[in-house]
């Protein structure tokens, strides 16, 4: 189909200009033809290419996007406006969102992004993917051109033509008999036809992080199925081999995203966003320190294992998130009773015990003036370190085998607000706190904190009653 001229009217929409002419679709800025109509935001119309030389995947992917986009919501996707008749003229009208795609940062030059920028862009992308997964949708075509960064730093995901909704028929799986995805970013399980695993999107984010950090694609840009299959057993060259100033923590994150087996990657995009937002808490293993490629014998073992591996679809994206949540515990730091600390520890232990893939964030909130009221020799850094040490000491009684754990000292005047904000920004699924989280002597001043947290938190909140084990209750008290 030839390009539409400005002023062309289609079903009450007027074409303003063509803003993108891609291989699968043309995108136009449009407005309502009637001057008195307005959705309150700018609009774009997407029309798929359907010439004789275009493949069937163009129209199938349009049908997929037509099926999925109207049911998506939230700040990380464009709002749906209207759709055209598939027989007469297929089109999608959606919100036009200004911003720059990740391709902009790549076009500035290889390896130009500093670590903080890479982490910021990666975390924003992971949060957007997590929002999608919560709605039981996997994008499955994440790449720099499909990730838009708004002025406020929020990421918006574009182009859902290759996506998969867990509750709708997978038209691409039914119509296509080969791997579907962009070769440079496609995940190993997609290569063999498994769609609907949210960890495939995590792999794609890892590819983008690798490219932002090094200016190179970890697996190149293969043009054959055999070339794409190599990622089933191959690990790319460590980013630090390309760029020595990449910190070990960032390499750890990137290479974990790029693990050939989905089970070895981050269990959810929220976990990935957490590490990118809290680099000081990333546990660096040999993976983060290496500067040379994985030995050939390791690739041979993986090749043999991949040859006989049976790939199975993952659980529902939302179910996988629920099975591997981020748990948060608010640990008080002043005038706190042993009963409170013991009860919190028991509650956390029970929650971790039934959620093997859960991550634990131990949080305490101190007053902004705490360091100024201390001795002059005690700096703010020293005070934070002391509270970090107390959090670690409290957690020593927990069995943290198989669980990632981190410790955070927040400084805020409003304790409830600080806890709620932390939970929201880190996609916490469950928060555990005591009914009196700020000590026995001052709890009358903070009696509303648990109530406010329970009311405002964007997650499940468990309030724990204070209690000591029976054998301690039975001990006589000193006069």
For 151-205, write each residue's pLDDT tens digit. Answer: 999 999 999 999 999 999 888 876 655 667 789 999 999 988 888 999 999 999 9
Strand order in the sheet with 326-330: 404-411, 359-366, 326-330, 430-434, 460-464
Domains defined for the chain, CATH in brackets: 9-95 (3.30.200.20), 100-320 (1.10.510.10), 325-473 (3.40.50.620)
pLDDT attached to residue 165:
95
Angle at 236 between CA 159 and CA 102, to 5 degrees: 30
pLDDT attached to residue 22:
77
Strand order in the sheet with 100-101: 100-101, 147-149, 155-157
Tens place of pLDDT for every residue, the chain, 479 residues? 678 999 999 999 999 999 988 777 899 999 999 988 989 999 999 998 876 555 567 788 889 999 999 999 999 999 999 999 877 889 999 999 999 999 999 998 766 789 999 999 999 999 999 999 999 999 999 999 999 999 999 999 999 999 999 999 888 876 655 667 789 999 999 988 888 999 999 999 999 999 999 999 999 888 788 888 888 888 899 999 999 999 999 999 999 999 999 999 999 999 999 999 999 999 999 999 998 877 777 767 766 666 656 666 667 899 989 999 999 999 988 777 888 899 999 999 999 999 988 999 999 999 886 655 445 445 668 888 999 999 999 999 899 998 999 999 999 999 999 999 999 999 999 999 987 544 444 445 445 788 899 999 999 999 998 776 655 544 554 44
pLDDT attached to residue 340:
86
CA-only gyration radius of the chain, Å:
26
pLDDT attached to residue 445:
47
pLDDT attached to residue 24:
76
pTM > 0.85: yes or no: yes
Report whether 80 contacts 94 (CB < 8 A). yes
pLDDT attached to residue 295:
74
| CB-based contacts of 60, cutoff 8 Å, min separation 6 | 171, 172, 175, 176
Q: What is the pLDDT of residues 115-131, one digit of tens each?
A: 999 999 999 999 999 99
pLDDT attached to residue 450:
87
């Amino acid at each position: 189909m030839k390009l539409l001229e400005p002023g062309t009217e289609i079903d009450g929409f007027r074409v303003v200009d063509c803003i993108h002419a891609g291989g699968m679709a043309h995108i136009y800025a449009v407005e309502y033809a009637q001057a008195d109509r307005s959705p309150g935001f700018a609009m774009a119309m997407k029309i798929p290419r359907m010439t004789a030389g275009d493949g069937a995947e163009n129209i199938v992917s349009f049908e997929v996007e037509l099926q999925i986009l109207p049911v998506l919501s939230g700040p990380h996707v464009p709002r749906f406006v209207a759709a055209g008749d598939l027989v007469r003229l297929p089109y999608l009208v959606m919100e036009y969102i200004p911003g720059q795609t990740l391709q902009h940062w790549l076009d500035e030059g290889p390896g130009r992004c500093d670590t903080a920028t890479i982490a910021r862009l990666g975390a924003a992308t992971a949060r957007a993917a997590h929002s999608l997964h919560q709605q039981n949708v996997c994008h499955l075509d994440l790449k720099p051109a499909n990730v838009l960064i708004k002025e406020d730093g929020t990421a918006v995901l574009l182009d859902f033509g290759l996506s998969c909704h867990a509750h709708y028929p997978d038209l691409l799986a039914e119509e296509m008999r080969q791997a579907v995805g962009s070769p440079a970013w496609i995940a190993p399980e997609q290569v063999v036809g498994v769609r609907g695993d949210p960890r495939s999107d995590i792999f794609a984010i890892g590819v983008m992080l690798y490219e932002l950090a090094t200016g190179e694609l970890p697996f190149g840009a293969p043009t054959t199925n055999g070339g794409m299959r190599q990622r089933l057993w191959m690990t790319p060259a460590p980013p630090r081999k390309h760029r020595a100033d990449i910190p070990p923590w960032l390499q750890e994150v990137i290479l974990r995203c790029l693990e050939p087996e989905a089970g070895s990657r981050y269990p959810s995009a929220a976990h990935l966003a957490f590490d990118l937002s809290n680099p000081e808490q990333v546990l660096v293993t040999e993976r983060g320190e290496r500067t040379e490629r994985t030995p050939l014998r390791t690739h041979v073992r993986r090749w043999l294992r991949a040859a006989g591996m049976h790939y199975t679809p993952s659980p529902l994206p939302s179910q996988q998130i629920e099975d591997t949540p981020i748990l948060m515990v608010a640990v008080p730091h002043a005038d706190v009773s042993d009963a409170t600390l013991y009860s919190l520890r028991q509650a956390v232990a029970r929650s971790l015990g039934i959620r093997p893939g859960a991550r634990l964030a131990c949080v305490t909130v101190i007053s902004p003036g705490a360091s100024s009221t201390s001795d002059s020799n005690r700096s703010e850094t020293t005070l934070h370190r002391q509270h970090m040490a107390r959090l670690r000491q409290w957690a020593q009684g927990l069995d943290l085998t198989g669980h990632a754990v981190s410790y955070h000292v927040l400084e805020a005047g409003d304790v409830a607000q600080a806890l709620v904000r932390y939970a929201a920004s880190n996609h916490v699924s469950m928060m555990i706190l005591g009914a009196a989280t700020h000590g026995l002597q001052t709890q009358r001043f903070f009696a509303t904190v648990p109530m406010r947290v329970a009311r405002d938190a964007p997650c499940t909140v468990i309030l724990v009653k204070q209690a000591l084990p029976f054998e301690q209750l039975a001990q006589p008290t000193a006069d």
